[in-house]
Structure 1
Amino acid sequence: MVFFVVFVLFSILILRLGELQIVFGDDFKREIERTEDITVNNPVPRGKMYDRNGKTIVDNTPLNAITYTKDQNTNQKEMLETAEILAKLIYKDTSKVPVRDKKDFWIIKHPKEAKEKITKKEWDLYEQKKLDDEQIYKLQLDRVTDEEVASIQGEELETLAIYREFNSGYALTPQIVKNKDVTPEEFAVVSENLENLPGVDTTTDWERMYVFGDTLKSILGDVTTSEAGIPKEQLDEYLARGYSRNDRVGKSYLELQYEDVLHGQKAKVKNVTDKSGKILSTEVVSEGKRGKDLVLTIDMDLQQQVEKIIEEELWSAKQKPGTGLLDRAFVVLMDPHTGEVISLAGKQIGKDKDGKTVMKDFAGGNITTSYAVGSAVKGATILTGYKTGAISPGEYLVDEPLLIKGTKPKKSWKTFGNINDLRALQVSSNVYMWKTVIAMGNGKYVPNGPLVLDTEKTFNTMRQSFSQFGLGTRTGIDLPNEMSGFPGSENKPGLLLDLAIGQYDTYTPIQLAQYVSTIANGGNRVQPHLVKEIREPIMENNELGPIVEEIQPKVLNHLDMKDEWIKRVQEGFRMVMQVGDGTGVSTFKGASYSPAGKTGTAQAFYDGPVKSQKNADVMNLSLVSFAPYENPEVAMAVLVPWAYQGNTGPSINMTIGKRVLDAYFDLKKSRPVNDGTATSIQQADNIDTTQNSQQSGQ
């Protein structure tokens, strides 16, 4: 019985298979050959950016859009006919249509006249295969006259502009025809006529919106347009990663650096086509997902105040004599323990497109431009002196004019006599630094004698030591195109002395911020970063989704120096701002937040945009600071290149620095406790808990 049942079942199966293969086989074969499944990816809006307090900085604005998707076998004539109909329904900007495309279009529209532009002799050569299609076409292009190009006007020119968009991408991939200034009337009339416009559709697109205008704009970066698509130099890389040619991608700074995060997950759509390429049906395979959101370390309220302060002080300083070359200033505020950049501001005076003098955002200059910074680096010089044994903590040296054979007397801005290391920092003694470096180079100062040093070795020692603070090396900030500055190219003894007081190698503002943070936190060179968190996107407005990744503090290196040495330099920085005749006391005296820091003035050469003033003598002004001294929560770097010419000028570095720190602590007071504005020292627990306890006990 079992055998019989199995026999019957197999018989039924064989009969059914025979029916499928013999009776209906040809029908199913034709059906399979008739259709083809093609999956395409549709772009989605980019992720948003928020500041550290949850304020939206970068958003997406919805736009009405008109798109075109061509079939695999759509021909030129069909696209032109559709473009001609669409040109009657919408306005299309034609200002960017190149002459070459106009010539191509003229040839398409006037095939007979275009053929007549080739001589009989040339056609004979073509028949003999001595000229190919490409060469014939090039001859036609070259012979299309300016008058014939100029004849393409009005609606015909709009047809060409639309046709260019139709032809700009792959088959079955939607191309944006128009997404800016699509009027409600245009959107409606196109929607009503879709049956007469094969391949055309109306949909919703998006545009990047920078909520705070130009504030921090150069750091937030830019995104390419749908018209420009992927930059040519990056095309192969992006195509290999699943992008389409007309995808909008980040092209600078944060938009570029976090492209993989912000770009999102494309929607997958399956198009079922017949063998001719005609779309039979469409179904969504997977819904797209907007790019992930970035929560930045920046406090936009503070950022706006800092930018306003820089602008006001630049305009004010420009009213004073000797400031003809002054055109920029930079400020960086960061948490010295975590590396979170709280404010990254830069401003530059320039011309707009109409030739009017305006103030432009130049925050990017904090990482892309470098300058001689002057005495601000003397903390690193003193610590390098300790480490090499050139000086000992508390050692006294005589501040006196140095009389070196063959050079003018070298001296501090004032002669201070017998001083120790703390006093040298307090009053910014050049001579103390020079004598430290002379000892470092195994030299000996003899009045009116030559200066003999082991310069090459000492240059290497100084630069390697400075790099441990972040000076002369990339800080690792999460932005593209960071520069490392420029080391001087010669190794003369006098230039080594200049290096010790910050008047030879050049450094960026972000390097100064990392340098002073390293001193403030007790010796950790912490990597600065602008992104605090990466979060999942959610649909609700102004709400943050779950955390995907929280950026943790990263220590790049720890100074190979004794804790008491670093504390001694911290004390010297305190004396600069708070004690006696310290170089910062006149500005910061009485500040409630107990500042510490170091001022800097560098004699430098102008290398800015005014060509007639190249290599003119100028003064660069700088200031590095941290506060409060007893328990640092914020580190600051101020840099004002080419501040003035001559021996004296406005102390714009000091006025900017004081106002910025005032703004930081005033804003902190005005907010509820633990709102995230003033980053806490406890956030650095993951770095070095031992170091934190040492700092807290100062």
Structure 2
Amino acid sequence: MTFTQRQISPFNPTENTRTMGKGMRAAVLFLLSVLVLIGILGGRLFYLQLIEGDRNQQLAENNRIRLIAKPPERGRLFDRKGNILASSRLAHVVYLWPIAQPKDKWQPTIKRLAELIGVSAQTITDKLEQEGYNSPNLVRVSTAISPKLVTVLSEHSLELPGVKVEPEAVRYYPNGDVAAHVLGYTGELTAEELPKLREKGYRPGDVIGKSGVEYAFENQLRGEWGGQQVEVDAFGKVLRILGQKPPKSGNAVKMTIDLDLEKAVEKILGEQQGGIVAMNPNNGEVLAMVSHPAFDPNLFSGKISEATWKRLQEKDHPFVNRVLQVYPPASTFKVVTMTAGLETNKFGINDVLPTYPYLDVGGFQFWDHNHAGFGTIGFSEAMAYSSNTFFGQVGMRVGEKDLATWARKYGYGEYSGLEIKEEETKGTVPDEEWKKRVIGEPWYVGNTLNMSIGQGDVQANLVQVSMMTAAIANGGFKIRPHFLLEDSDAKEWRQSLNISPTNLAAVQKALRSVFDFGTAAALNSSEISMAGKSGTAQDPPRLNHAWFTVYAPYENPEIVVTVFAENAGGGGGSAVAAPLAVQTIEAYMKIKSMPNSPINPPVPAVNSN
């Protein structure tokens, strides 16, 4: 075999050198390109490893390690004897796990889930977007689903990637609508509430207290989130649990409410629209608080159907706590008028006044309720008979300024101190300055007369009337009503009204005369000595409201009860409200002799829609 050898022409000596130069330049360029590429890669590696190394390591770790948050069980509410007022029961809850699939994969899942659980796709999407598609936290989209729906979701699990059905403790009220307005209810965070509470660790779908003590004691009841640290694969599937922090349950709260008395008072009030509050006059503990109509707070632990919600709305404002709403206090306010008359020295305890069918003031006739008057009488008879013309004369001589001063001393026109302040209306103590500012009119003598008998613009709630009655019962001290049993500050807080002992005894005697020979004489008891005052408030064109406030025993008071019957008519406070108040006193005396051991029924299984 022979090889042909290329000859270099002597006439063209540069031919070979040009060819070799081109090859060298190409090599050099290639080498430079490689060096530049290595430099870029090296610089990038230097940046990623040394400058951004910690951050990227964390990102890589986050792609592999997830923290699945677990909500805590809400703290339980107990009555003063240890009976459970609110606890938890096991239910199944539907969650989304945002990181389980990419953002663009979620909509088919959401659409199918919405069809199965009856929650709109937009609502589910909104909750997911509030939390974020890259969040490792579970997002609640439905609460307390039925066992049947648990089975349905399990059967369709392949169509629902990223959807989890988890067991969870949901709020449970074993006594149904008993003490509903005191306890309140829980519910999911709204879109409006979430931004304000995120900084406190709340998440979309979290359940919080919405009203009552559930709202007031949210910080104590809420507890602390826990969770599991898990390792996941590229598809978000859990490979193993690396560690876990158990959720910390919320604190139990023991309340002043006596469940036995609460149930008894619920029956006493019955279907009468209105409210009853019973409290200890010496330390402000609220023993019972009933408002009718009411609602079952268990309804809010799951999904409320449209039919159920419509039925609730057909009632006359069942979510309004009538004990904390304000109305004209009517003749119960005569306690304020008597106190003001005696403490300003405009009257003495033995003074008497003539009474009339009516008082003519400024061309207006202010009638006594019997349209005849009661002759010449003193304070005890006037309180017993509830004479408008007697107390109208007292009020006009005292004047609106001193009436207003003493009303405020008793607690009118201000919040009572109850923990559920957001649901309380503080009412009105009118005076000349108030009328000019609010109504734009001058103050007239007729306004003073109306105020002195608890009519006109004066407004008060049942707790304020109870505070006034308690001050007379306990020796002249303003106390702070409260629901928290362990609240030593509230229990020990007492503010002297500085009523002279002689005048205080005169007011106590006048309230006792209501039972001895006055408007409540038919209810006088040889077993339980009581003192109190009736009231009938006008509410044209509707029927009159009925009031009665009472304390017992007269010699050593343990309980104050105030009853309000809304638009009751039928004879007013003495005929409608007084019997309910006396029945409450009798129930209290009977219950206090019963054993204190709690009786808590077993928690039933969830049966939600």
Measured in 2, the distance between the counterparts of 1:551 and 1:280 equals 53
**Letter of the 1:379 counterpart:** V
Residues 283 and 491, structure 2, Cα contact 8 Å, conserved in 1: yes
Measured in 2, the distance between the counterparts of 1:240 and 1:472 equals 35
Question: Residue 481 of structure 1 aligns with which residue?
Answer: 423
- Establish whether residue 34 from structure 1 lines up as the match of residue 51 from structure 2: no
Measured in 2, the distance between the counterparts of 1:168 and 1:348 equals 37
Residues 181 and 291, structure 2, Cα contact 8 Å, conserved in 1: no
Question: Residue 543 of structure 1 aligns with which residue?
Answer: none
**Letter of the 1:530 counterpart:** F
Measured in 2, the distance between the counterparts of 1:617 and 1:31 equals 74
Assess, with a 3 A threshold, how the Cα gap between structure 1 residues 278 and 355 changes in structure 2: closer, same or farther. closer
SS at match of 2:373: coil
Question: Residue 311 of structure 1 aligns with which residue?
Answer: 270
1:39 is displaced (CA, Å) by 5.6
Assess, with a 3 A threshold, how the Cα gap between structure 1 residues 555 and 192 changes in structure 2: closer, same or farther. same
Question: Residue 499 of structure 1 aligns with which residue?
Answer: 451
1:631 is displaced (CA, Å) by 0.2
SS at match of 2:491: coil
**Letter of the 2:479 counterpart:** V
Question: Residue 111 of structure 1 aligns with which residue?
Answer: none
- Establish whether residue 573 from structure 1 lines up as the match of residue 511 from structure 2: yes
Question: Residue 452 of structure 1 aligns with which residue?
Answer: none
Assess, with a 3 A threshold, how the Cα gap between structure 1 residues 40 and 461 changes in structure 2: closer, same or farther. farther
- Establish whether residue 589 from structure 1 lines up as the match of residue 524 from structure 2: yes
1:601 to 530, 536, 539: 536
Question: Residue 425 of structure 1 aligns with which residue?
Answer: 383
1:203 is displaced (CA, Å) by 2.6
SS at match of 1:642: coil
- Establish whether residue 375 from structure 1 lines up as the match of residue 342 from structure 2: no
**Letter of the 1:336 counterpart:** P
Measured in 2, the distance between the counterparts of 1:185 and 1:622 equals 50
2:137 to 160, 173, 194: 173
Measured in 2, the distance between the counterparts of 1:354 and 1:184 equals 25
Measured in 1, the distance between the counterparts of 2:367 and 2:577 equals 25
Assess, with a 3 A threshold, how the Cα gap between structure 1 residues 551 and 182 changes in structure 2: closer, same or farther. farther
2:174 to 206, 211, 216: 211
**Letter of the 1:251 counterpart:** K
SS at match of 1:502: coil
1:644 is displaced (CA, Å) by 2.2
- TM-score normalized with structure 1 length: 0.66
1:422 is displaced (CA, Å) by 2.1
SS at match of 1:651: helix
- Establish whether residue 640 from structure 1 lines up as the match of residue 565 from structure 2: yes
Residues 424 and 432, structure 1, Cα contact 8 Å, conserved in 2: yes
Residues 469 and 560, structure 2, Cα contact 8 Å, conserved in 1: yes
1:404 is displaced (CA, Å) by 4.2
Measured in 2, the distance between the counterparts of 1:650 and 1:634 equals 19
Measured in 1, the distance between the counterparts of 2:369 and 2:125 equals 72
1:387 to 331, 337, 343: 343
SS at match of 1:339: coil
- Establish whether residue 97 from structure 1 lines up as the match of residue 134 from structure 2: no
Measured in 2, the distance between the counterparts of 1:390 and 1:655 equals 35
Assess, with a 3 A threshold, how the Cα gap between structure 1 residues 556 and 272 changes in structure 2: closer, same or farther. farther
Question: Residue 493 of structure 2 aligns with which residue?
Answer: 555
Question: Residue 106 of structure 2 aligns with which residue?
Answer: 79
1:383 is displaced (CA, Å) by 0.9
Question: Residue 524 of structure 1 aligns with which residue?
Answer: 477
Measured in 1, the distance between the counterparts of 2:97 and 2:579 equals 59
Residues 26-68 of structure 1: per-residue CA shift (max 9 Å, x gap) = 9x98866632477664321211111122111112111133433
Question: Residue 280 of structure 2 aligns with which residue?
Answer: 335
Between the aligned residues of both structures, percent identity stands at 24
Measured in 1, the distance between the counterparts of 2:218 and 2:544 equals 40
1:387 is displaced (CA, Å) by 1.5
**Letter of the 1:427 counterpart:** Y
Residues 375 and 600, structure 1, Cα contact 8 Å, conserved in 2: yes
Structure 2: state its 5+ residue gaps. 1-45, 296-307, 436-440, 599-609
- TM-score normalized with structure 2 length: 0.75
SS at match of 1:224: strand
Residues 548 and 573, structure 2, Cα contact 8 Å, conserved in 1: no
Residues 373 and 621, structure 1, Cα contact 8 Å, conserved in 2: no
SS at match of 2:131: coil
Residues 436-490 of structure 1: per-residue CA shift (max 9 Å, x gap) = 22322xxxxxxxxxxxxxxxxx323211211211223221111023111134535
Residues 514-567 of structure 1: per-residue CA shift (max 9 Å, x gap) = 11111111111111112214xxxxxxxxxxxxxxx6664153632122122112
Residues 265-291 of structure 1: per-residue CA shift (max 9 Å, x gap) = 111544678999998865445321111
Measured in 1, the distance between the counterparts of 2:245 and 2:309 equals 46
Measured in 2, the distance between the counterparts of 1:276 and 1:355 equals 46
1:339 is displaced (CA, Å) by 0.7
Question: Residue 582 of structure 2 aligns with which residue?
Answer: 658
Measured in 1, the distance between the counterparts of 2:157 and 2:235 equals 24
Residues 412 and 431, structure 1, Cα contact 8 Å, conserved in 2: no
2:321 to 346, 358, 364: 364
Question: Residue 347 of structure 1 aligns with which residue?
Answer: 292
- Establish whether residue 296 from structure 1 lines up as the match of residue 320 from structure 2: no
SS at match of 2:419: coil
- Establish whether residue 407 from structure 1 lines up as the match of residue 331 from structure 2: no
Assess, with a 3 A threshold, how the Cα gap between structure 1 residues 532 and 668 changes in structure 2: closer, same or farther. same
SS at match of 2:423: coil
**Letter of the 1:638 counterpart:** V
**Letter of the 1:93 counterpart:** I
Assess, with a 3 A threshold, how the Cα gap between structure 1 residues 191 and 556 changes in structure 2: closer, same or farther. farther
Assess, with a 3 A threshold, how the Cα gap between structure 1 residues 77 and 348 changes in structure 2: closer, same or farther. closer
Q: Give the superposed CA RMSD.
A: 3.8
Assess, with a 3 A threshold, how the Cα gap between structure 1 residues 407 and 218 changes in structure 2: closer, same or farther. closer
